[in-house]
Amino acid sequence: MQQILGVDVGGTGIKGALINVENGEMVSERFRLDTPTPATPAAVAKTFAGILKHFDYEGPIGCGFPAVIKGNRALTAANIDKSWIGKNVGDTFGSSKKQPIYVLNDADAAAIAEMEYGIGKNAKGLVMMVTVGTGIGSCLFLDGKMIPNTEFGHLRMRGKIAEKYCANSVRKNEDLSWEEWGKRFNEYLQHVYHLLSLDKVILSGGVSKKFQKYEEYINLPIEVQPARLLNNAGIVGAAAYAAQQ
């Protein structure tokens, strides 16, 4: 059994677990530390080191990170300090030959997990994974092949970017009911559906495990389902990505 440490760096928390990459199952308890404020490279690297220390782990590491990632380098900084832009995330976290760190966009990580081990397995056509938390992440798969680094959470809606209108953090900050928030989120999903002619939508992030609270307000002519791996998908997908590398 091959075990790899997956780490999910989010806007509010940094979570990690050991993953059996053969079946996507967690083989340890999930461990979480708060994302530091401000989330500067030095501060986040210190918290990341705390995750590694907890697991006393040596070997390759997969890391989902809230940014457009190319060659382990952050090209944007969504819900994290802007000083990350241009930084090599793996090097900042202490990547080495003995312990390489493979970094990808956090929404892409969650999507890989669901497409490898969850309800997206063997799905055909254009599938979109939407990760809803502090912000809104997105990932597209066309007939099982990932199209990385999409940023559909940054589409313009009602004079602002979409994640400032209907992310889960907005629901909490504005004290919206599930009906109020669900209708906003449905508006967003309909917008993306009409732009891309999607075949399926998979929901990940913290709101995925509460799908029944707003399911009735989602009105699309395609299948919309919560991710089977729920909010552990980012950790599992990061480990799977490291295994693929």
Residues 7, 61: Cα–Cα separation, whole Å: 7
CA distances from 58 to 51, 76, 105, 202, 221 (A): 12, 29, 23, 33, 47
What per-residue confidence (pLDDT) applies to 169?
93
Domain that holds residue 40: 3-109+233-244
**CATH assignment of the domain containing 188:** 3.30.420.40
- Residue-wise pLDDT for 68-124, tens only, equals 999 999 999 877 899 999 999 999 999 988 899 999 998 899 899 999 999 898 899
Are both 102 and 152 inside the same structural domain? no
**237 plus 223 within the same structural domain:** no
Q: Is residue 117 part of a domain?
A: no
* Cβ proximity of 139 and 128 under 8 Å: yes
Tell me: do 184 and 239 sit in the same domain.
no
- 72-81: which pairs have CB atoms within 8 A and are 24 or more residues apart? 72/101, 72/102, 72/103, 76/151, 78/11, 78/135, 78/137, 78/151, 78/153, 78/154, 79/10, 79/11, 79/134, 79/135, 80/9, 80/11, 80/35, 80/39, 80/44, 81/38, 81/39, 81/40, 81/41, 81/44
Does residue 127 lie within any of the structural domains? yes
Is 139 found in the same domain as 87?
Answer: no
* pLDDT one-digit tens code per residue, 211-222: 999 999 999 999
Evaluate whether residue 64 is within a structural domain: yes
Q: Which residues face 22 on adjacent strands?
A: none
Average pLDDT over residues 218-238: 91
Total number of domains constituting the chain: 2
Q: What are the backbone angles phi and psi of residue 185, rounded to the nearest 5°?
A: -65, -40
**With left for phi above 0 and alpha for psi between -120 and 50, is residue 201 left, alpha or beta?**
beta
Can you read off the two tokens belonging to residue 99?
């312990």
Q: What's residue 88's pLDDT?
A: 97
Q: Do both 41 and 71 map to the same domain?
A: yes
Looking at the domain assignment, is residue 50 inside a domain? yes
Are 180 and 128 in the same domain? Answer: yes
Give the residues across from 56 on adjacent strands.
none
User: pLDDT tens-digit profile of 120-165?
Assistant: 988 999 999 998 988 898 999 999 999 988 989 999 999 999 999 9
Residues 152 and 101 reside in one and the same domain? no
Asked if 220 and 239 sit in the same domain, the reply is no
Does residue 8 form part of some domain? yes
Asked if 39 and 130 sit in the same domain, the reply is: no
In a domain, 115, yes or no: no
Residue 75 shares a structural domain with residue 56: yes
Residue 55 sits in the same domain as residue 89: yes
Q: Distances in Å between the alpha carbon of 64 and those of 68, 89, 134, 213?
A: 10, 10, 15, 27
In a domain, 153, yes or no: yes
**Any domain includes 80:** yes
Q: Are residues 220 and 238 in the same domain?
A: no
